[in-house]
Amino acid sequence: MNRLAVIGAGSWGTALALALAPRFDRTRLWARDRDRAREMETARENRLYLPGFTLPQQIEVSSHLSYVIDQADIALTVVPAQHLRTVMLELSVCLPRETILVSATKGIEEGTLRRMSQVIATALGDGSERIAVLSGPTFAQEIAAGEPAAVVIAAEDMALAESIQRVFATPALRFYASVDVIGVELGAALKNVIAIGAGICRGLGLGSNSVAALVTRGLAEITRLAVALGASPRTLSGLAGLGDLVLTATGNLSRNRYVGLQLGEGRKLQDILASMSMVAEGVATCRAAHQLGAQHGIDLPIINQMYCVLYESKDPLQATRELMDRPLTNE
């Protein structure tokens, strides 16, 4: 495996291309916008999403999907969750049959309520035998800077997960293999919703006690829903669950935490999103998670309150009060 295609040139896709390029003889990075692809190829920098990091010459940037995917051994998909199906349908007409797909997209598709690996499989009309997922506590800027991090690579076939683990491993990026695709994907998606709640706490002027309580009880909700859908509870206490949740709920580089912070300070959601150049996946994921909880009869008090704040214009302070006023129970 010596040819890598990275599908998506946002901050995360660019950071992964930078981190993994030394492991491959050829790395091609796909950007949908032709002008931006040309600018990145010429300037050797992603000035819009990841400024300050030089792209080595071994990374080619192109807006031609068929060129980027041509003869690729591994295709790493890093596009926003709600656009993944469209991109995969485009990719399906030129994807080599032997190419392995690794999803680094975090979210749940609205409407279908499908995980990202399921979206990929259905869009390609393919089975899951060559699909893996990647997740863990990571910020793009720190990965691009070469700071140490640990993530999970999961596939239904452990042999596939372990082969990708060996190919992707770098001195700064440590991979753990897993067969719990469901747990890894749901942990990755749902933590963004809880991170919005953690940001709201800070925006309301609340301290570390409140954030710690919300993160801990948020993990309980994530675990309840994920296990009901077939995940292992052990996965949710690991890197793809607890690790990613803590980072996203407390780190200043978190887009979802930022959305919550601004909501807590009184800004309107539409104004917050309009001012952002990057996608906060937790906003769309919240609606999907709310629907999944109702569909499966799972108690999700924090996620449901976040839904009311995001989609029913509920006052964030009132949502917080109602969480505290719930009937007392056992942990």
CA–CA distance, 94 with 10 (Å, rounded to integer): 22
Single-letter amino acid, residue 211: V
Token pair listed for 168? 């992707």
Helices and strands, number each (H, E), in the chain: 16, 10
Hey, is 40 helix, strand or coil? helix
For residues 294, 300, 302, 305, the Cα torsion angle rounded to the nearest 10 degrees is 20
191 catalytic residue (yes or no) = yes
**Catalytic annotation, pick one of 106, 191, 268, 314:** 191
Burial of 166-193, coded b for 16+ CB within 10 Å and e otherwise, reads: ebbeeeebebebbbbbbbbbbbbbbbbb
Please give the DSSP secondary-structure letter assigned to residue 96.
Answer: -
Residues belonging to the active site:
191
